[in-house]
Amino acid sequence: MTAATEPRVISIKWRLLGLLLVPLTVLLGLGLFIDYRTGVASIGGVYDRALGETALAIAAHLRDANGDGHIDFDLPPQAIAALRTRGSDTVAYAVRRIDGVLVDGDADLGFVLPASEQAQLFDAKLRGKPVRVAVHAAQVDRTPLVVAVAVSTHQRDSALRRILASIVLTDLIQLIGTLALVWIGVRHGLRPLRNLGEQIAQRSARDLAPLQDTAIPAEVRPLVHTLNALFDTVRGAARAQQQFTADAAHQLRTPLSGIIAQLEVLEREPVSAELRARLLALHGGCVRLAHTAHQLLTLARSEPSAITHEDYARVDLEQLVTEAVSHSLDRALDAGLDFGAECAPAQVLGNPWLLRELLGNLVDNALAYTPRGGRVTLRCGDDGCAGWLEVEDDGAGIAVDLRAQVRERFVRLPGSPGNGCGLGLAIVDEIARAHEAEFSLDSGSNGRGTRARVRFRHASAEPVSLPTAKPQ
């Protein structure tokens, strides 16, 4: 469900956020730009009107006092000084005839002929500094004049900056607020999906119980229903396979059992040595056949398709080991082996019957491959994070390059003793895999013999409501 598992697939959350956030950000940015432009225009208008009025005021004070075409500026020096400053801005002015001759004011303020009766406004530079200029055409006693006023832009610029700052601030708050709401909404809206994802992620691959379909959004309900139908089918198939192997076991074992028992009875009767030898060979063959049939059925039952969590229970490994030792003790004594166990309390979750087969196969191998006088030890314990089972012998061991091979089906190492059919470690491997356990084959302590180890998943990671396997 998460993007982490499949890096190329973007999660719905990020997709939704992407689809919402990008256009929202563009829209809000556009709003900010428009607000700014509007602010600039209105502030500029206010300053321009004031500038135009200054130009008109200067024009109003121009007189041709003598009527000789000589224009005078009839403001007292204090008034002119007041005119020249406006707050922190300095004001320059120039009154010229239309031929450009300066009548009054600052000579370095350039001459521009206004295009119309209206005041003409533009940005320019005066003495290296930016100024706003208003040029106004005036008629003083029939003499056409041009009044230019330039004001530095400090105040206007700082007003613009203040406006800009407040616009950006409010728009940014709006932007962030909107994004936060989108984020929260998307997260909240996707919560049922996330819950479903977690419900699926927490399950073991062997768990075929139906998913809860309450509180599931309508969009994914078909998916949940299809999954549940699939689980149901798989469960049914597993049950059918279990039923088949159980029936097959019954049909195979009953006649085999009769033949073997008859042979055993025959062997006890007084017969010739030659016939006894043939009976014993026949008996051996039947036992081997029965063993192979049992191993094949066990393998069929340990295949993933035959296993569901419904058969799982808490299994006490100490008890499992005790039973295995008790079961095989006579065989070990006959083989002249030191057979024992070292157990620490440990519980795992699993199929009790299959785990017994797993341990039984490991013990069978150890007993078969350890020469007389050797030592076979079963161990179990919990390393704080998972339960484990171990069977160690000091026999011939398995060469490192053969350890992977012996797990395969029907593989027997050359010179193997006993009635084996080469399925034992394949069964162990299959059952371990079915329990999501690690099965490893190593050398025993001191580098001799074989140490087969099965390390389980932690039992507490599973639901705790499972029944405990009944003791014998």
Partner 1 sequence: MRILVVEDDALVADAIRRGLESAGHAVDRVDCAEHARTALAAENFDLAIIDIGLPCSNGLSLLRSLRQDGLAVPVLILTARDGLADRVNALDLGADDYMVKPFAMPELVARCRALIRRSRSAASALLTIGALALDLGAHRVEVDGSVVELTRREWAVLECLALNVGRVVAKPKLLQAIVNWDAEIGANAIEVYVSRLRSKLGASVPIRTVRGIGYRLDDGSH
Residue 195 burial (10 A CB sphere; 0-12, 13-18, 19+): middle
Minimum Å gap between C-beta 241 and partner 1 is 13
Among 257, 440, 460, 468, binds partner 1 (CB under 8 A): 257
Among 34, 65, 169, 333, binds partner 1 (CB under 8 A): 333
Of 36 and 353, nearer to partner 1 (C-beta) is: 353
326 binds partner 1 (CB under 8 A): yes
Of 55 and 469, nearer to partner 1 (C-beta) is: 469
What's 158-198 look like in SS3?
HHHHHHHHHHHHHHHHHHHHHHHHHHHHHHHHCHHHHHHHH
Nearest residue to 40 via CA among 153, 204, 163: 163
330 binds partner 1 (CB under 8 A): yes
Residue 431's CB is within 10 A of a number of other CB atoms, namely: 28
Residue 76's CB is within 10 A of a number of other CB atoms, namely: 8
Of 372 and 470, nearer to partner 1 (C-beta) is: 470
For 443, the enclosing helix (H) or strand (E) is strand 438-443
- With contacts defined by CB under 8 A, name the span among 21-29, 121-129, 139-147, 285-293 that binds partner 1: 285-293
268 binds partner 1 (CB under 8 A): yes
Rounded to 10 degrees, the C-alpha dihedral 224/230/232/234 comes to: -150
Among 254, 305, 405, 468, binds partner 1 (CB under 8 A): 254
- With contacts defined by CB under 8 A, name the span among 34-42, 171-179, 256-264, 390-398 that binds partner 1: 256-264
255 binds partner 1 (CB under 8 A): yes
Burial 222-231 (b: 16+ CB within 10 A, else e): eebeebbeeb
Of 267 and 438, nearer to partner 1 (C-beta) is: 267
367 contacts 418 by C-beta, under 8 angstroms: no
Residue 193's CB is within 10 A of a number of other CB atoms, namely: 17
- With contacts defined by CB under 8 A, name the span among 253-261, 405-413, 431-439, 455-463 that binds partner 1: 253-261
Minimum Å gap between C-beta 340 and partner 1 is 2
Among 23, 258, 284, 373, binds partner 1 (CB under 8 A): 258
243 binds partner 1 (CB under 8 A): no
Of 97 and 283, nearer to partner 1 (C-beta) is: 283
- With contacts defined by CB under 8 A, name the span among 145-153, 188-196, 351-359, 431-439 that binds partner 1: 351-359
Write the DSSP symbol of residue 220: T
Tokens of 253: 């074992």
Among 41, 101, 215, 265, binds partner 1 (CB under 8 A): 265
Minimum Å gap between C-beta 415 and partner 1 is 27
Residues 216, 196: Cα–Cα separation, whole Å: 7
Nearest residue to 294 via CA among 245, 345, 355: 245
421 binds partner 1 (CB under 8 A): no
Among 3, 259, 282, 466, binds partner 1 (CB under 8 A): 259
Of 255 and 414, nearer to partner 1 (C-beta) is: 255
State whether residue 44 is helix, strand or coil: helix
188 binds partner 1 (CB under 8 A): no
Side chain identity at 414, as an amino acid letter?
A: P
Write the DSSP symbol of residue 422: S
The residue to which tokens 């509007």 are assigned = 38
- With contacts defined by CB under 8 A, name the span among 129-137, 154-162, 187-195, 320-328 that binds partner 1: 320-328
Of 141 and 330, nearer to partner 1 (C-beta) is: 330
CB-based contacts of 210, cutoff 8 Å, min separation 6: 228, 231, 232
173 binds partner 1 (CB under 8 A): no
Nearest residue to 432 via CA among 447, 454, 453, 450: 454
Nearest residue to 471 via CA among 273, 326, 256, 270: 326
Residues 283, 383: Cα–Cα separation, whole Å: 45
376-405: which residues touch partner 1 (CB under 8 A)?
A: 377-378
299 binds partner 1 (CB under 8 A): no
128 binds partner 1 (CB under 8 A): no
Residues that bind partner 1 (CB under 8 A): 246, 249-262, 264-265, 268, 286-287, 290, 294, 297, 321-322, 325-326, 329-330, 333, 338-343, 352-353, 356, 377-378, 469-470, 472
